[in-house]
Amino acid sequence: MSASTSTAADLPVEVAVLGAGGAGLLASIAAAWAGARTVVYERNAKPARKVAISGGGRCNFSNTLDPRGFVKLFGDEHAKLLGHALRAFSNQDLIKMLSARGVEGEIERHYRLYTKSGRGQDVVDALVAELHAAGGELISGAHVTGLERDAASGLFRLSMAQGTPPVLARTAVVCTGGLSYPATGSTGAGYTWAREMGHGVTDLNPALVGLLIAEPWTRKLAGLAWDDATVELWPLPSTAPGAPAEKRTSKISSERAEILFTHFGISGPAVIDTSNAFVRSGLKSARLTIDFFPDKSTEQLDAELLRRFKQQPGSTPAVALKGLLPARLLEHFVSELFRDAQTYVSKLPKAGRTQLLEAFKGTALTVAGTRGMEFGEVTAGGLAWTDLDPTTLESRRVPGLFFAGEILDLTGRCGGFNLQAAFSTGYLAGAQAAARARSKA
C-alpha cells in the first residue's frame, strides 16, 4: 500500500499501532476484532521482516508448552508478568488462527513449533490476511518520526516524515521492536518516544547472539556443527586477593543443544541461549566449557575409548576414534594434545587417554564478548515494567498509551518464546487499547 495517511482534519484513528512486526500485527488484529478503527503504520515496505526470516527462514513461531511451562522455561526474571498476555492469546489461539489461514506447524526438538512449509513468510501473510479480514488497515512505507499526547484533547499525534500530514489517534500501541538486527528495520525509535513521555528504559544489549571466542583454533573449524552438547558458562578465575572461592567458581548457566563453530567463535542454539546469561552477568569475559558427550559419564566414555584402542592397537588416535566426533574436530584435539599425532594407540599412556577425555568432556574456551547488536536476534532490556500495568500493558504515566513486543524488558531463550511473547503481548495491548478507545467514542 502507499504511505498515504489520514490527515489531522479527519476523525482520529481509534487505535494507531506503530510497527507491523509480530506484536504490531497481533495488536492491530485484536483491536480490529474489537470493532475499533485500527491502522498499523510500518516504516518498511513490507511488514514483519524479522518474523519472516526467523528460524533460518522457517519461523519457529511458538512452542507447545502450557502457560506454566512456558513461563518457567522462558529464561527471564520478568516472564511471570506474561500471565495476562498468555491468557488473552495463547499458543493454541495462535495455532488455531494460523491453521485457519492454511499455515500448519511442525514440532521439532521436543516442543518447538516451526512452519510445516518451511516458509516464515507464510506466517506473515496469514497475519496480514487476518488483519484485512478484521477490517484493520496496514500502511507500509509510513515513517513515524514522533509521538506525543495532547494534554487538552487526550489525543495522540503521530508526526510523519516527508511532509506527510500528521495523524491523530485516540490510543497508540508502540510495537517498534528493539535495537537488534537493524537490517530488518529496527531503529530504537520507540525507546526515544517512551523516554520523552517519562518512561524508564533499562540498559539495552544484544541477546540471542553468537559469542566471540579468544582461542583462534575455533575459527579454523568454521562451519562445523555438533548436534548435542552441554555448554556451561563460568566466571574467569579471579586473581583478586581474598576473593571468595564461591564467587570465583560458581556456574552462571548451563544449556544443552546444538553448537556451531564459526568464523568469529561459536554459535548454535546452546550458545545463543548462553549469550543471554553472559549479557545479564555484566562480565566482559568469561569461561565457557563444552561437554561433547552429555549422555556419557567420564567413566563410560573412557571405556569406549579403551575398547576402540584395543580393537585397533596399530592405529593412530584419529583413526581409532573415527566417527566419534567430526573429523576436523577430532584431528584438532589429537594434534593439540600429542606431540606426535601418529603415535600408535598401543603406545599411548593412560595420561594421554585422560587428556582426550578432558577435551571431550570439558573443552574450555574464553568468551571475549558478543557479536553485537547488529547480529542479535533480540534486544535484552527495554521499557521498565514499573511504568506499565502488566494486566493491560497500558502506560502508568500516559493514559491510552500501550507497549508490546520486543520493546518490553523481556528476553526469552530460543524455541519460539520471544515470538509467542510478542504475539501475546501485542494481542493484549491491542484489545485493551480498543476497549479504551471505544469507551471514548
Domains of the chain, by residue range, sit at: 13-205+379-440, 210-371
Structure letter (DSSP) for residue 313: T
Q: Are strands 378-380 and 205-207 parallel, antiparallel or unpaired?
A: antiparallel
What distance in Å separates the CA atoms of residue 59 and residue 51, rounded to the nearest whole number?
A: 7
Taken in order 421, 422, 424, 429, the sign of the CA dihedral is: positive
Contacts of 331 (CB under 8 A, 6+ apart): 318, 341
What residues does 15 pair with on adjacent strands? 38, 171
C-alpha 200/C-alpha 197 separation (Å) is 9
Count of residues making up the chain: 441
Alpha helices in 77-119 (DSSP H): 83-88, 91-100
User: How far apart are the C-alpha atoms of 86 and 315, rounded to whole Å?
Assistant: 58
Q: What is the pLDDT of residue 185?
A: 82
Q: What's the grid cell of residue 138? A: 496496514
Contact 400, 433 (CB under 8 A): yes
Total Cβ atoms within 10 A of residue 248 = 14
Q: Are 406 and 177 in contact (CB under 8 A)?
A: yes
pLDDT score, position 340: 58
Give 321's Cβ-side CA count (13 Å radius).
27
The one-character DSSP state at 56 is G
- pLDDT of 7 reads 42
Classify 63 as helix, strand or coil.
strand
* Chain centroid offset of residue 249 CA: 28
The DSSP 8-state label assigned to residue 322 in this structure reads B
Check if the beta carbon of residue 209 is closer than 8 Å to that of residue 372.
yes
Angle of helix 67-74 versus helix 417-440 axis, rounded to 10? 110
Residues in a beta bridge with 254? 232
Q: Which residues pair with 256 in a beta bridge?
A: 230
Give the Cα separation of 179 and 204 in Å (integer): 8
Residue 246 confidence (pLDDT): 45
How much is the pTM?
A: 0.92
Q: What kind and span of H or E run contains 206?
A: strand 205-207
State the average pLDDT for the chain: 93
Q: What is the pLDDT of residue 240?
A: 46
Show Cβ contacts of residue 394 under 8 Å, excluding neighbours closer than 6 positions: 388, 400, 401, 402, 429, 432, 433, 436
pLDDT digits (tens, 9 = 90+) for 39-48: 999 999 999 9
CB 313 within 8 A of CB 345: yes
Per-residue pLDDT of the chain (441 residues; tens, 9 = 90+): 444 444 444 579 999 999 999 999 999 999 999 999 999 999 999 999 999 999 999 999 999 999 999 999 999 999 999 999 999 999 999 999 999 999 999 999 899 999 999 999 999 999 999 999 999 999 999 999 999 999 889 999 999 998 889 999 999 999 999 999 888 888 899 999 999 999 999 999 999 999 999 999 999 999 999 999 999 999 998 644 454 544 456 999 999 999 999 999 999 999 999 999 999 999 999 999 999 999 999 999 999 999 999 999 999 888 999 999 999 999 999 888 876 556 778 888 888 889 999 999 999 999 999 999 999 999 999 999 999 999 999 999 999 999 999 999 999 999 999 999 999 999 999 999 999 998 876
Quote the pLDDT of residue 365.
98
Distance CA 269, CA 26 (A): 27
pLDDT of residue 130: 98
Predicted pLDDT at 348: 82
Specify whether the CB–CB gap between 99 and 127 falls below 8 A: no
CATH architecture assigned to 13-205+379-440? 3-Layer(bba) Sandwich (3.50)
Eight-class DSSP state of 268: S
User: How many whole angstroms separate alpha carbon 270 and alpha carbon 291?
Assistant: 11
